[in-house]
Amino acid sequence: MSSEQAPIKPHHMAQFLDEDDPTPLSPLMKAVAKLQQNVASRGEPKEAVMETESQENAQLDLFVADLLDYSFKDDMTTMDAPLFSLSTRPDMDTWRWESSDKKRWLEVMPSAKGRATMNDKDLLIYLTSQLVAAMNSAKARGEKMPGRRVRFVTYDFLKTTKRGTDNKSYELFEDTLDRLQGTRFKTNIPIDKNMDERNNFGLIESANYIIKTLPSGKKRMVAIEVTISKWLYRTMELRHVLTISDRYFDLRPTVKRLYELARKHVGEQAEFMMKEETLYEKTASKGGMREFRRILKEIIERDEVPDYRFQRDDSNPKCVWVKMYQKDTKKFALAFAKQFPQQKK
């Protein structure tokens, strides 16, 4: 099958549709509930509480993110849910998710500088990539796991994520830290059905700057020490992460978002179908469906998404489907045979 022409096959569509079943707890909801266990620990034996405190203290051990050999990792929850804004301008809107019965909800509230953006998320990917590599190494060697307090060189981050290294780039990076630290996640998802609890947290709990005075007399932050949230750290511990393309940091926000959705839902399969309306909602595009469709067609025509292609099926204008599929023809054929063993190409 040609990589340029991978026809849509509606007869096996039901095997891989995005049903969006709200009943099971997603990794995000499980992780959020995990954060609330400190509340329940008030009724635990003293020994259990002390053990929990010891584990939390260990998480705050300093990890220096200076690895050179690692692959880029993205957490599976934020690859699916549109928690980050696509806008390059301050986005002051609150995003809200609700279960179908309206009993469980999650809100993302912006900082004073706006909601954290897709480009801001690059920092979380950078830290996640370094930490997961260090965790894998520690596990293989039987050593202590790295903590969630991380120090890294600002210049290294800027270069890795394809940013500039001039004074303006450092100023923009400080805005990134402000938005990531200021954007808040609030939920009422309980850990006990008899307990009504709410939790409020940010993806970065704190950030400390290490400043150097340049020969010109100007000051520049040369290193940063951040403490990532317990939730994000927990996703790494559980390995709820996926390896992403080295080209990720070259992409503009909308293409990044489409790539994340393809990587999450197609994965190592041959293909995945999603309603265009659902795709629109998962990108959290604010331009309206008509504008989103125009941008999507443009991205498809330019073949901008790494590793995957998108194909629209508008044969039924009332229900347009989008197929995401493997770009590599050999990989597609092998994955197709495995995904649909009873189907002939």
Tell me, yes or no, whether 323 and 205 share the same domain.
Answer: no
Rounded to an integer, what distance in angstroms lies between the CA atom of residue 107 and that of residue 185?
6
Q: Which two tokens stand for residue 209?
A: 């700057």
Model confidence over 216-236: pLDDT tens digits? 888 888 899 999 998 899 989
Q: Alpha-carbon distance 59 to 150, whole Å?
A: 10
pTM of the predicted model over 0.85:
no
Per-residue pLDDT for 267 more than 60?
yes
Stretch 290-298: mean pLDDT: 97
Pairing label, strands 62-64, 149-153: parallel
Q: What is the pLDDT of residue 237?
A: 93
- 12 phi, psi to nearest 5 deg: -115, 15
Position 133 scores a pLDDT of: 97
- Residue 81 is predicted with a pLDDT of 85
Report which of 305, 315, 250, 313 is spatially closest to residue 283, judged by C-alpha positions: 305
228 and 318 co-located in one domain = no
Look at residue 3 and tell me if it is in a domain: no
d(CA 340, CA 227): 44
Kindly state whether residue 155 falls inside one of the protein's structural domains: yes
Tens of pLDDT, residue by residue over 323-338, are 999 999 998 999 899 8
Question: What percentage of the chain has pLDDT greater than the value 70?
Answer: 79
Q: 265 and 209 share a domain?
A: no
The amino acid present at 31, given as its one-letter code, is: A
Residue 335, token pair as written in the block = 């994955």
Cα distance between residue 180 and residue 266, in whole Å: 28
User: Contact 188/198 with Cβ under 8 angstroms?
Assistant: yes
Give the pLDDT score at 77: 85
Indicate the residue among 237, 267, 293 that finishes a domain: 237
Domain extent at residue 312: 10-16+251-339
- 142 is a domain residue: yes
The pair of structure tokens assigned to 44 is 């635990």
User: What is the pLDDT confidence band of residue 201, given thresholds at 50, 70 and 90?
Assistant: confident
Residues 212 and 303 in one domain: no
Q: Which of 2, 11, 1, 30 is nearest to 313 (CA)?
A: 11
With CA atoms as reference, report the closest residue to 76 among 278, 313, 225, 240. Answer: 240
What pLDDT band is residue 1 in, cutting at 50, 70 and 90? Answer: very low
Distance CA 245, CA 129 (A): 12
Asked if 287 and 218 sit in the same domain, the reply is no
282 and 189 within one domain: no
Q: Are 186 and 307 within one domain?
A: no
Q: Indicate whether 294 and 185 sit together in one domain.
A: no
Residue range 4-41, pLDDT digits in tens: 444 443 333 323 333 344 444 554 555 445 444 443 44
Judgement on whether residues 297 and 214 belong to the same structural domain of the protein: no
Whole-angstrom Cα distance, residue 178 to residue 116? 9
Give the DSSP letter string of 18-42.
-----SSPPHHHHHHHHHTHHHHGG
Q: What is the number of domains present in the chain?
A: 2
How far from chain centre, in Å, is Cα 100?
A: 23
Q: Is residue 22 part of a domain?
A: no
pLDDT, average across residues 303-321: 95
What is the distance between the alpha carbons of residues 110 and 92, in angstroms, rounded to a whole number?
A: 6
Most confident of 79-88, 222-231, 249-258: 249-258
Averaged confidence pLDDT in the chain = 83
Q: Residue holding tokens 């750290």?
A: 233
Over 50: is that where the pLDDT of 279 sits?
yes
Cα 92 off chain centre by = 20
Q: What separation in angstroms does the CA of 108 have from each of 202, 284, 319?
A: 9, 12, 29
Distance CA 180, CA 187 (A): 18
Domain boundary, last residue among 187, 212, 237: 237
Structural domain contains residue 325: yes
Pairing verdict, β 321-326 and 271-275: antiparallel
**Per-residue pLDDT, 29:** 53
Give domain status of residue 139, yes or no.
Answer: yes
Q: Answer yes or no: is 212 within a domain.
A: yes
pLDDT (mean) for 36-53: 47
Which of 193, 211, 237 is a domain's end point?
A: 237
Most confident of 10-24, 103-117, 213-227, 238-252: 238-252
Phi, psi of 297 (to 5 degrees): -60, -40
Domain-located, residue 36? yes
213 and 268 belong to one structural domain: no
Helix or strand or coil: residue 328? coil
Question: Do 233 and 306 belong together in one domain?
Answer: no
Residue 184 is predicted with a pLDDT of 94
CATH of the domain at 306: 1.10.10
Q: How far is CA 22 from CA 19, 125, 302, in A?
A: 9, 27, 35
Asked if 226 contacts 127 with a C-beta cutoff of 8 angstroms, the reply is yes
pLDDT in tens, 116-168: 999 999 999 999 999 999 999 999 999 999 999 999 999 999 999 999 999 89
Considering the domain architecture, whether residues 228 and 203 belong to the same structural domain is answered as yes
Give the residue-averaged pLDDT of 180-190. Answer: 84
Rg from Cα positions in the chain: 22
